[in-house]
């Protein structure tokens, strides 16, 4: 099957590495692993973060022009060169899909959306145009793949049915992370030598971009959480960078002198060793869609302590691969961190369970089999069987 792939928020091939771009790349990898020919057909970014209606209209016009050009090109080509399915990853009111609905309609092919988001309250917001486009795209889709169960209810309400909605759990390629887990002692010794962190105490890890909004709020909540744990021995390792780094560093100053190591931005290869070297990942997950870092940490044998918000329960198995606190309860989060800091054997056992869970249930291979089955049920004229 030939698949036209598109990500309106962040193209997987452009810009600063992010969880969103990683998921797009992983979806393409899983589709190819399932035997499909996948082409990234556009890098057009439809995102407007300011609520600028004039900009949104300009993006709509530009998107429609691109869609018409793609349609014309494919209609003029041999049938064997046209896509069989259009696959869009992650649309929401700030980044609607102006391409997929038009092209799939012109070519008479199924339209698939992975990670759709719909919030009725945005109908009267400054992003009403994007909201309406997302509503119409979701209604038109033959198949809607939701990585977070948190998104399903609003979409089902919009459609009035569940027959086109499928929960596709977040996944990754665990090979490099699992290999790092197997060489944990080596990674820990190297990290300690390079960064001067005491290997005899527990290392808490945080992995996230440093940008205003929810990420900065999560870092500030992390600082508040750690304030409850000053009586214990630990060191915090922070992997991430971005425009809010100054604010993040200021927030974490309260951890105490010499307790925080800032690594800056790390690529995925190097980050695997950092995950494996640490003892647990802690993240307050303010308004987190689900959190790829939480899944990556588990693949490398780290238990996770996080807030039980939005899609986090779709990634972390509470009590088995990590511990979840109520959203916004920093004292409760700290209590769970204290539990694991005080129980190294339980921490290691939970980390092993986490690595096995990701390898067995959340791998690219598992996702590719699920995608192959789901796409195989699509009708060539665009309606699910």
Using H for helix, E for strand and C for coil, what is the string for 283-347? ECCCCCCCCHHHHHHHHCCCCEEEECCCCHHHCCCECCCEEEECCCCHHHHHHHHHHHHCCHHHH
Q: What angle do CA 194, 199, 204 make, to 5 degrees?
A: 95
Contacts of 324 (CB under 8 A, 6+ apart): 305, 306, 307, 308, 312, 313, 316, 318, 336
Name the residue among 378, 385, 366 with its Cα closest to residue 112: 378
pLDDT at 380: 66
**Thinking of the domain 175-361, which architecture would CATH place it in?**
3-Layer(aba) Sandwich (3.40)
Contacts of 170 (CB under 8 A, 6+ apart): 23, 147, 148, 290, 292, 295, 311, 314, 315, 362
DSSP β-bridge partners for residue 6:
88
Sign of torsion, CA 85 86 87 92?
negative
Q: Please check whether residue 306 is in contact with residue 322, taking contact to mean a CB–CB distance below 8 angstroms.
A: yes
Q: Please check whether residue 215 is in contact with residue 245, taking contact to mean a CB–CB distance below 8 angstroms.
A: no
pLDDT at 269: 82
Q: Please check whether residue 302 is in contact with residue 281, taking contact to mean a CB–CB distance below 8 angstroms.
A: yes
Q: How far apart are CA 57 and CA 342, in angstroms?
A: 55
Sign of torsion, CA 287 293 298 299?
positive
Q: Please check whether residue 205 is in contact with residue 282, taking contact to mean a CB–CB distance below 8 angstroms.
A: yes
Tell the CATH superfamily of the 2-171+364-376 domain: Glycogen Phosphorylase B; (3.40.50.2000)
Sign of torsion, CA 337 265 15 297?
negative
DSSP code of residue 210: -
Q: What is the mean pLDDT of each run of 10 residues along the chain (385 residues)?
A: 96 80 95 96 96 97 98 95 97 97 97 94 92 97 94 93 94 95 96 95 96 96 97 96 96 92 87 96 93 95 95 94 97 98 96 96 96 90 45
pLDDT at 384: 41
Number of Cβ within a 10 Å radius of residue 383: 10
The SS3 of residue 97 is coil
DSSP β-bridge partners for residue 40:
5
pLDDT at 17: 67
Tell me the domain boundaries of the chain.
2-171+364-376, 175-361
pLDDT at 296: 96
């Amino acid at each position: 099957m030939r698949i036209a792939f598109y990500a309106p928020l962040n193209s997987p091939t452009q810009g600063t590495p992010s969880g969103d771009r990683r998921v797009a790349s992983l979806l393409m990898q899983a589709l190819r692993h399932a035997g499909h020919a996948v082409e990234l057909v556009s890098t057009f970014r439809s995102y407007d973060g300011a609520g600028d209606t004039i900009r949104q209209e300009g993006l709509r016009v530009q998107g429609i022009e691109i869609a018409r050009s793609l349609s014309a090109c494919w209609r003029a080509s041999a049938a064997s060169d046209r896509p069989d399915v259009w696959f869009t990853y992650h649309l929401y009111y700030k980044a609607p899909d102006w391409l997929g609905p038009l092209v799939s309609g012109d070519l008479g092919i199924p339209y698939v959306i992975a990670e759709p988001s719909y919030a009725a309250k945005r109908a009267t917001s400054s992003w009403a145009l994007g909201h309406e486009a997302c509503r119409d795209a979701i209604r038109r889709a033959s198949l809607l793949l939701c990585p977070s169960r948190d998104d399903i209810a609003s979409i089902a309400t919009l459609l009035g049915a569940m027959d086109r909605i499928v929960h596709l759990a977040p996944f990754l390629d665990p090979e490099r992370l699992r290999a790092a887990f197997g060489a944990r002692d080596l990674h820990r010794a190297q990290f300690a030598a390079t960064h001067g962190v005491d290997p005899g105490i527990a290392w808490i890890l945080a992995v996230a971009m440093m940008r205003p909004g929810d990420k900065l709020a999560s870092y500030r909540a992390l600082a508040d959480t750690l304030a409850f744990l000053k009586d214990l021995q630990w060191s915090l390792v922070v992997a991430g960078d971005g425009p809010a780094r100054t604010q993040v560093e200021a927030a974490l100053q309260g951890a105490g002198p010499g307790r925080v190591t800032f690594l800056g931005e790390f690529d995925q290869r190097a980050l695997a060793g950092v995950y494996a070297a640490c003892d647990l990942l802690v993240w307050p997950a303010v308004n987190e869609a689900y959190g790829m870092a939480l899944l990556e940490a588990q693949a490398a044998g780290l238990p996770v302590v996080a807030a039980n918000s939005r899609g986090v329960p779709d990634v972390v198995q509470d009590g088995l691969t990590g511990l979840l606190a109520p959203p916004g309860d920093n004292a409760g989060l700290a209590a769970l961190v204290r539990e694991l800091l005080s129980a190294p054997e339980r921490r290691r056992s939970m980390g092993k369970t986490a690595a096995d869970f990701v390898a067995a249930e959340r791998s690219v291979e598992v996702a590719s089999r699920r995608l192959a089955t789901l796409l195989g049920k699509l009708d060539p004229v665009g309606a699910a069987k």
